[in-house]
Amino acid sequence: MSHHPDPSASVTPARKRVTPPSLAQLVAAGDKLVMVTAYDYPAAVAAQRAGVDIVLVGDSGAQVQLGYDSTVPVSVDEMLVLASAVRRGTVTALVVVDLPFGSYEVSDEQAVATAIRCVKEAGADAVKLEGGGPVPAARIRAIVGAGIPVMGHVGLTPQTATALGGFSAQGRTVEAARRVRDDALAVQEAGAFSVVLEAIPSDLAAQIHPLLHIPAIGIGAGPAVDGQVLVLHDLLGLTQGRAAKFVKRYASVLDVMTDALAAYAAEVRSGAYPAPEHGYAMPPGILDSI
């Protein structure tokens, strides 16, 4: 049995435990916030060791971790399994869990009940939900009212991408730009401690940012925000095909994994693995006595 990787073996100077209020302090001190998604224990450990501020158990895990076609089918129970593993791998980073599609839209009561499950069953520090219209704003207010911090998410909202016309940048007409701005303000007004701005023109984000007193975290929103988030599998090179414009690949982990597995398969087939050093020695005399 191998040992777990140790989340406390940080490769960056130790961070204090990150909380929703401390995010605003980091921003006030001039720090850029670093957020990344994670869906399992080793990824959470790596994010923790790298000094990431916020780990998001995103419903993008439906696609990149669980292999669904979209984020829509993932259930609360599935999200809770992913989130619990991430919680166990995290020491100081703030753990935010996405409320999946269908788990908060029906009523404030449904939204609060799902958020409570994320906190009680998975140890989430906060939850995130998509949209800034009257319904999402009401849900944010209700969840915050129940004592659970909420991160908002406006611009491109993948759960409702069909209604938005697909996975394209948002806010590129006067009306659409106003909608993104008003959604961000509505999310703030409803009590969210932070908001994700996804796939909007950099200049629009720069215009919205000064209107917000909560940290704005961008993904495809340019540099004029308080921090950045990327999907782990995109930045590690674990996804395939054409990536969104804002994705930067920092590694080719799928290639590394494939090469390692191909080498293993070849050695098993050739008999090169296991070598003598991978076997257990029998104490002398035992075999003669069985």
Active-site positions?
Answer: 198
Residues 128-187 that bind ligand KIV (CB under 6 A): 153
Q: x/- contact string, 47-66, with ligand KIV (CB under 6 A)?
A: ---------x-xxx------
Residue 69's Cβ-count burial label (10 Å; 0-12, 13-18, 19+) is exposed
Strands (E), the chain: 33-37, 54-57, 94-98, 126-128, 150-155, 194-198, 216-219, 227-230
Decide if residue 226 touches ligand KIV (CB under 6 A). no
Which is nearer to ligand KIV, 232 or 287 (by Cβ)? 232
In angstroms, the CA 113 to CA 76 distance is 11
- CA separation for the pair 127, 115 (Å, rounded): 6
Nearer to ligand KIV, 64 or 119 (CB): 64
CA distance 108 to 167: 28
Provide the minimum distance between the beta carbon of 103 and ligand KIV in the complex, in angstroms, as a whole number: 14
Nearest alpha-carbon partner for 190 in 219, 148, 155: 148
Q: Which of 37, 48, 103, 114 binds ligand KIV (CB under 6 A)?
A: 37
Query: Closest CB to ligand KIV belongs to which residue?
Result: 58
Cα–Cα distance between 10 and 218 in angstroms, integer? 25
Q: Which of residues 178-207 bind ligand KIV (CB under 6 A)?
A: 196, 198
Q: State how far the Cα of 149 lies from the Cα of 28, in Å rounded to an integer.
A: 20
One of 142, 231, 236, 238 touching ligand KIV (CB under 6 A): 231
10 versus 224: smaller Cβ distance to ligand KIV: 224
Q: What residue has token string 């200049």?
A: 203
| Nearer Cβ to ligand KIV (190/229) | 229
Alpha-carbon distances, residue 218 vs 194, 208, 228, 285 (angstroms): 11, 12, 5, 67
**Binding flag, residue 98, ligand KIV (CB under 6 A):** yes
- Tell the smallest beta-carbon distance from residue 55 to ligand KIV (Å): 11
Residues binding ligand KIV: number (CB under 6 A): 12
For the CB of residue 137, give the shortest distance to ligand KIV in the complex, in Å.
18
Residues binding ligand KIV (CB under 6 A) = 37, 56, 58-60, 98, 153, 196, 198, 219, 229, 231
